[in-house]
Amino acid sequence: MDTVPLWALLLALAFLILCSAFFAMAETALMAANRYRLRHQAKRGSRAAATALWLLERTDKLLSLVLIANTLINAMVTALVTAIAIGLFGREESVITIATAVVAFLLIVFAEISPKVIGATYPEKISLASSFVLKAMMALAKPVIWFVNLFVSLVLKLFRVQTVGAGHDHRLSPEELRSIVLEGGNFIPQKHKSILLNLFDFEAISVEDIMTPRAQIEALNLAVPVEEIKHQLVTCYHNKLLVYEGEINRVLGILHVRKAMALLSEEELTPEHFKALLSPPYFIPQETPVFAQLQYFQEKKERLAVIVDEYGELQGLVTLDDIIEEMIGEFTTTLPGTGRNDRFQWDEKGECLLEGSTPLRDINKFLQLQLPLDGPKTLNGLILEQLQDIPDAAIAIRIANCIIEVVQVQNQSIKVVKLIRS
């Protein structure tokens, strides 16, 4: 105290606290920084982002540098405050105690909590600004860091702790990606967000979930009179028809209606003329994942597949359009008045009339319900599973906070159902 002026000691004390605050703030910012954002900036030529990523790939050395520096600085701050207190107030025991409390307060407030809160609040800005300084200091302190880490690695091996190396997997799981998309806010347009969320569901659903069921297939039966075949071709709504003979499981092929229209002027038209135009049917099992089927369509240059069960019985059809609509939403309607969005609407009473063959996934999606999807795929199947019987009169059941009322039963199946929001 006799040789060094008080102002110089106070200035040194402030400088040391600032250094400690810098290390605490930089460390917190780097650990809180978004690695994917830093990687994006580095690809765009940001040297600061590339340096920050370089530091994050050497977490053990970075933490060693910060802890060594802070430990030395904190020791120096303690010694300096104690020296100032003794020089000003003497060597009383109470003076040393108060000096220790003051040091602890200064370090906690100005070198720990405040800088770390700032670092966590502005992680990208601070990590980019401090990355060059930390890299330079890491190079200067390399011998010390190596010596300290030598003992650290021995301790970790003793406790069988596996350290995070360069090959550490920072990839996100599908559920984490889903959370990022949901929390994207205004950065992702709502339509794009909906498409991305639909893609996450692709691995969990099969073609059975989006197919046109067997009862709703518009197919051409070559066993009927030719005049009926002509009438169906003229009035059909599709450009491709499934063709069978007698029974729908006897699939002959797929007919392009445009090609068949050229035959209608023939005087002596027979089913053989139509058979000559058929393309081979493309059969797939009903458990095929939707995303895998999209790839199969691309590889095989197909647009329509016939879905069969384990016994070879026809269950339905799935087209490339069905899969695309599952991704981006409905963009075309093959039959007049069958737009899905038009059917799925609550009226002013909180009721909605639907066909029994309506898929449960569509109901959950458009009406915001939580009907179980781990069993039957349609509303008819769900009700029959719950009742264990085919109802012969109006009956209502409650499933997943929704009242389901049977309105019409026909041919051993439920045709019309009323959903009531509860």
Q: Tell me: the pLDDT tens digits for 274-332?
A: 899 999 999 999 989 998 899 999 998 899 999 999 888 999 999 998 888 888 877 65
For residue range 178-224, what is the model confidence (pLDDT) as tens digits?
777 777 666 677 777 777 777 777 777 889 888 888 888 899 999 99
Q: Which token pair is 140?
A: 């200067």
If one counts every other C-beta atom within 10 angstroms of the C-beta of residue 94, the result is 9
What does the DSSP 8-state code read for residue 392?
S
DSSP track, 15-42: HHHHHHHHHHHHHHHHHHS-HHHHHHHH
Burial class (CB in 10 A: 0-12, 13-18, 19+), 385: exposed
pLDDT at 1: 47
Domains and CATH numbers, the chain: 6-158 (no CATH), 202-328 (3.10.580.10), 340-421 (3.30.465.10)
Mean pLDDT, range 117-129, rounded to an integer:
91
For residue range 218-231, what is the model confidence (pLDDT) as tens digits?
999 999 998 898 88
Q: What residue type is 358 in one-letter code?
A: T
Helices and strands in the chain: count of H runs, count of E runs: 19, 11
Torsion sign over Cα 28, 34, 37, 40: positive
pLDDT at 315: 92
Q: Which token pair is 77?
A: 């701050």
Strand partners, 410: 413
If you search the block for the tokens 């200091």, which residue do you land on? 137
If one counts every other C-beta atom within 10 angstroms of the C-beta of residue 360, the result is 19
**pTM for this prediction:** 0.60
Residues in CB range of 294: below 8 A, 6 or more apart:
202, 320, 323
The closest alpha carbon to 77, from 103, 96, 49, 52, belongs to 103
Torsion sign over Cα 346, 350, 356, 362: positive
Q: Is the pLDDT of residue 168 over 70?
A: no
* Whole-angstrom distance, CA of residue 297 vs CA of residue 295: 5
What does the DSSP 8-state code read for residue 186?
G
pLDDT at 186: 66
Mean pLDDT across the chain, nearest whole number? 85
pLDDT at 395: 86
pLDDT at 342: 60
Q: Is the pLDDT of residue 117 over 70?
A: yes
Which is more confidently placed, 403 or 204? 403
* Whole-angstrom distance, CA of residue 193 vs CA of residue 172: 17
* Whole-angstrom distance, CA of residue 298 vs CA of residue 349: 46
What is the total residue count of the chain?
422
The fraction of the chain above a pLDDT of 70, given in percent, is: 93
Res. 340 pLDDT band, cuts 50 70 90:
low
Give ∠ CA 37-67-16 in degrees, rounded to 5: 100
Res. 337 pLDDT band, cuts 50 70 90:
very low
Q: Is 67 helix (H, G, I), strand (E, B) or coil?
A: helix
pLDDT at 155: 87
Identify whether the C-beta of residue 235 lies closer than 8 Å to the C-beta of residue 220: no
